[in-house]
Chain A
Amino acid sequence: MTDTTLTVQNDTGLHSRPADLFVRTAKLYESTITVHKGTKSADAKNIIKVILLNVSQGQEVRIEADGPDEEEALKDLETLITSNFETVNPQVKI
């Protein structure tokens, strides 16, 4: 298991286009990926749970990955968030 803590900086938070990109990126990996905000958590591959986590601009999330590709998954999601959802894994076809 590995994890990372990040602050979501873009103005719509983890909603809308960013939520779509986040879930589609998480689904590229076999590992179980969980997003935590305070005491709430959501399966990163479940769009409804991710929206209900309601992460807004400036809030901190901890992303936890567990599985054979956990390091790559976290690195990819970290890049997505820190680039304000501009640097997208090319396997996510948009």
Chain B
Amino acid sequence: MTSTSLQFSDLVKPECILDNLQVGSREEALTTMARHLVDAGYCHDSFVEAILERERIHPSGLPMPGHKIAIPHTDAEHVQSSVILFARLQNPVRFQSMGDPDEAIPVQMISMFALKEKKLIGDMLETLITVYQHNEVLDAILNADGRDAIFHLLQDAVRTHGK
């Protein structure tokens, strides 16, 4: 499969869903998630610092009408193989909002994009946000019973609501 034919659902993998992650801050959440991607072989070591640095300059919280989300990502050069890492936090942490760093929002669901092909970002974000705009999808994910349940909810939601 070539990278240009990758679909959102190809990038969602059970081993890349962190359930009930216990963290006390945005930095701790991002560091834990980025390390997971490095340890699993999806990203180079440099990905961890690149994610933290990008978040400081261009925050990634998205003030959705219902549950708020964050979509951290960084440059393709730090990525070995494309994937999206999802984390459901046990307790929300505060993210600054993309497009308005003066606004801070509580985020419980983080989708970290590790994309080797730069052009993928537009379609992947469009799919994710389109799906998450259905507040019942995020409701179900936040209340799901474990990692596999979250995986199936994501796949079903993309099939139903994705483009």
Which A residues lie at the B interface, using CB under 8 A? Answer: 11-13, 15-17, 19-21, 23-24, 27, 45-48, 50-52, 54-57, 93-94
Contact = CB atoms under 8 A, between A and B. Distances in A.
B64 A48 contact: yes
A94 B58 CA distance: 8
B126 A54 contact: yes
B129 A48 contact: yes
Contacts of B59: 20
Contacts of A52: 126, 129-130
Interface of B: 54, 57-59, 62-64, 73, 97-101, 118-119, 121-123, 125-126, 129-130
B122 A54 contact: yes
Contacts of B123: 54
A27 B100 contact: yes
Contact of B58 (A11, A16, A48, A51): A16
Given A54-B126, A56-B119, A47 B98 contact: yes
B135 to A, nearest CB: 13
Contact of A17 (B58, B64, B100, B130): B58
Given A15-B121, A47-B62, A48-B63, A20 B126 contact: no
Contacts of A93: 101
B47 to A, nearest CB: 15
Given A48-B62, A94-B58, A11 B118 contact: yes
Contacts of A12: 118-119, 121-122
